[in-house]
Structure 1
Amino acid sequence: MIEQNQLTFAPWIKRTPGQSPHTATVVFPHAGGAATAYRTLAAELARTGPDAYVVQYPQRADRLAHPAPETVEQLAAELFAAGDWAAVGPLRLFGHCMGAVIAFEFARVAEREGAAVDSLWVSASHAPGAVAESPRLPTAAVDVVADMVDLGGTDPRLLADEDFVELLVRAVRADYQAFNRYSCDPDVRIRADIHTLGGRSDHRINENMLLRWKTHTGGAFTSTLFDGGHFYLNDHIPAVARLVNER
C-alpha cells in the first residue's frame, strides 16, 4: 500500500485515516450536501475499516468559487481526476441520494481507467435508469427551500438564517441542474457489486425504486432497509458503517 504522503489528492477531498490497508471507502454527499455533513459517517467507517474519503462538490464550502459542472458525468470525471484512486483501491463507493448516482458514474470512469471498484453502496436513491422519468427537481430559490424542508435532514434553525439559505440554494441548484440533465439506459452496468440501503418510511425513495438498481450491476446485489425516512442514515451510522465494512 502506498503511504498517504506519497499520493496526490485535491485538498477538498477529506480523508479520515482507517485501520486497514486493503481498500478505501469513498463517500459522495447528497445534493446540496457538504463534506462536513458526512464527517461522522467517515469517522465510523474508518474506526473499524479502511481509510475513508469524502469528496466535496463545487459551489459550497472550500469549493465555493469552483464552477459547477453541467452534467453528473462531468462532475464524476472531475472527482476521479482529483485523486490517485487506483493507488488506494480496490474502492468501496458510498453515495446518499444524488450522491449514489454520482458514485455510479464515478465507478464507470474508474472501471474505464483501470481503477478497481469492489462495491457501490446506494443510499436512498433513484436508479440511474429511472432518473430521466422522475419529476424534474426545482431550481427556483423558494422551491429549493421547500424541497429541502420536505426531504428533512436540514436543521430548521439553519433554514431561518438568510445567509445559510443563500449558500444552500446555490449548492442545491447547481446539483439539481446537473441531475435534471442526467439520463442513463437501464441496461448500463458496472462490474462492481451494488448494495442498496433505504428508510422504510422514505416518502421519496421506496423499496421498489431501490430494487431497480439491480439491473445496473454485473455482480452481486443486496437491499437492506432501516427504520426512518429519507435521511434514515443520520440515525443508523454505526449500523451502516458496520454493514459496509463487514462486506
Structure 2
Amino acid sequence: MIKEQSQLTFAPWIKRTPGQSATGATVVFPHAGGAAAAYRGFAAALARGGADAYVVQYPQRADRLSHPAPDTVEQLAADLFAAGDWAQLGPLTLFGHCMGAVIAFEFGRVAERHGVEVGQLWVSASQAPSTIADSPRLPTADAEVVANMVDLGGTDPRLLADEDFIELLVRAVRADYLAFNRYACGADARLAADIHTIGGRSDHRISEDTLRRWEIHTAGAFTLSLFDGGHFYINHHIDAVAELVNAR
C-alpha cells in the first residue's frame, strides 16, 4: 500500500513535484556542480505525464551549502538513500545526467540491497561506471574547473561573468569532482533494473560507443536513444525526454 505524501519522511532538500500517477516515483540526480533548481522544469514535465518526481540536492550548494561533502560517490549515494522514505513509493525510476547517472547507479545498488524495487535507470550523457577509474582525473583547481564547465556548456555565459556565482559553482563542482576522481567500479557490478541510455548526437565528451558501455551494468534490458544537441542536449528536449521516460 503506497502511503500518502503527508505520511512520508524526506529531507527538506529533496524536492518533490506531485505527479498524475498514484504509484511509483522518478528520482532525478543532477550533474556535477548542478543544483536541484536546474531540474525543476524537467521534474515538472515528468510529473505532468507520470508519477511524482523527486530531485535530490547534493551538499555544498543551495540549501545544503553548509553540508560537508562526502568523500566518495558511494557515500553520497548512501546518504541520499538514507534521506528519503523511498521504500514506500513503489517502483523507482532513476534518472541521472552526467555524473548524476553514476550517483543514480550507486543509489540503485543501495536501494536493491535494501529490498527497494528499482524498475529502470535512465543514464543521460554519462560514461559507464567501470570505465571511470581508467579515465583522466577531473580538474579541481579554480581556473581549470571553470574552463571545464565552459567546455561542457549548459551554463548561462552571463552567470560565468558573476564572481559570486563562479565562487559557488567552483565550490560545488570541486566537491563532486573530488568524489568522482576517487570512484572505481568493477565490470561485474550490475543492477537488476533495466538501463536506458540517452545522449546528444553532437556531444564531444560522451559518444554513442561510450553510452553503449553501460550495457554490462544491467541484468535487464538495455536501450540507447540519441537527441540532437551536445552534452546538455536535455535543455532543448525537456518534454521529449520526459515523455520517453514516462513511456517506459
TM-score, normalization: structure 2?
A: 0.99
Q: Which residue of 2 aligns with 1:116?
A: 117
Please give the root-mean-square deviation of Cα atoms over the aligned residues, in Å. Answer: 0.4
Q: Which residue of 2 aligns with 1:195?
A: 196
Q: For 1:9-24, what aligned pairs fall within 5 Å after superposition?
A: 9-24=10-25
Whole-angstrom distance in 2 between the partners of 1:243 and 1:202: 20
Q: Percent identity?
A: 77
Measure how far apart 1:89 and its partner are: 2.2
Q: Which residue of 1 aligns with 2:96?
A: 95
Q: Which residue of 2 aligns with 1:152?
A: 153
Q: For 1:64-143, what aligned pairs fall within 5 Å after superposition?
A: 64-143=65-144
SS in 1 for 2:120: strand
Measure how far apart 1:52 and its partner are: 0.1
Whole-angstrom distance in 2 between the partners of 1:126 and 1:153: 18
Measure how far apart 1:187 and its partner are: 1.6
Deviations 1:136-164 (A, max 9, x none): 10000000000000000000100000000
SS in 1 for 2:204: coil
Whole-angstrom distance in 2 between the partners of 1:89 and 1:197: 24
For 2:76, the aligned partner's letter is: L
Q: Which residue of 2 aligns with 1:204?
A: 205
SS in 1 for 2:24: strand
Q: Which residue of 2 aligns with 1:241?
A: 242
Whole-angstrom distance in 2 between the partners of 1:133 and 1:89: 36
Measure how far apart 1:207 and its partner are: 0.3
Whole-angstrom distance in 2 between the partners of 1:105 and 1:76: 6
Whole-angstrom distance in 2 between the partners of 1:68 and 1:51: 27
Measure how far apart 1:122 and its partner are: 0.1
Instruction: Name whichever of 185-194 and 172-181 sits farther off.
Output: 185-194
Measure how far apart 1:134 and its partner are: 1.2
Count residues with an aligned counterpart: 247
SS in 1 for 2:3: coil
Q: Which residue of 2 aligns with 1:7?
A: 8
TM superposition outliers: structure 1 runs of 4+ over 3 Å? none
Whole-angstrom distance in 2 between the partners of 1:48 and 1:27: 15
Matched, 1:63 2:64: yes
Give 5+ residue unaligned stretches, structure 1.
none
Matched, 1:25 2:26: yes
Q: Which residue of 2 aligns with 1:214?
A: 215
Q: Which residue of 2 aligns with 1:230?
A: 231
Measure how far apart 1:222 and its partner are: 0.2
Deviations 1:208-229 (A, max 9, x none): 0000000000000000000000
